[in-house]
Amino acid sequence: DQQVKQNSPSLSVQEGRISILNCDYTNSMFDYFLWYKKYPAEGPTFLISISSIKDKNEDGRFTVFLNKSAKHLSLHIVPSQPGDSAVYFCAASGGNDYKLSFGAGTTVTVRA
């Protein structure tokens, strides 16, 4: 049973606008969350993370928001650029288990 869910398989956004990617989790022991970005034929690359003691973390154009009560996190990309077109994976870990659980990914397409 998948503990991390990305319910939107794809997202299309115009260049310069905001991209919002969503992720839900079911395991209340998760306390560390990450977003990875993946281009075709390459490995995932780390984008941004957040621990459960925070509700927001920002790095340049990328901001991750965490809502622990709703077991929900989101990634905001502002402004979206053509190079942001990629697959984005949400991942989580926590408790005594340091292994990462991944969502199925969301494919973002930034239109010119």
Binding region for another protein (CB under 8 A): 2, 4, 6, 31-32, 34, 36, 41-46, 49, 51, 89, 91, 93-94, 98-100, 102-105
- CB of 63 or CB of 106, closer to another protein: 106
User: Could you tell me the smallest distance in angstroms from the CB atom of residue 94 to another protein?
Assistant: 8
CA distances from 105 to 2, 16, 36 (A): 12, 22, 9
- CB of 98 or CB of 112, closer to another protein: 98
The answer to whether 112 and 10 have CB atoms below 8 angstroms apart is no
In a 3-state reduction of DSSP, which class is residue 10? strand
User: Could you tell me the smallest distance in angstroms from the CB atom of residue 92 to another protein?
Assistant: 10
Q: Residue 106's closest CA among 3, 6, 13, 4?
A: 6
User: Could you tell me the smallest distance in angstroms from the CB atom of residue 41 to another protein?
Assistant: 7
Q: What is the DSSP letter of 93?
A: E
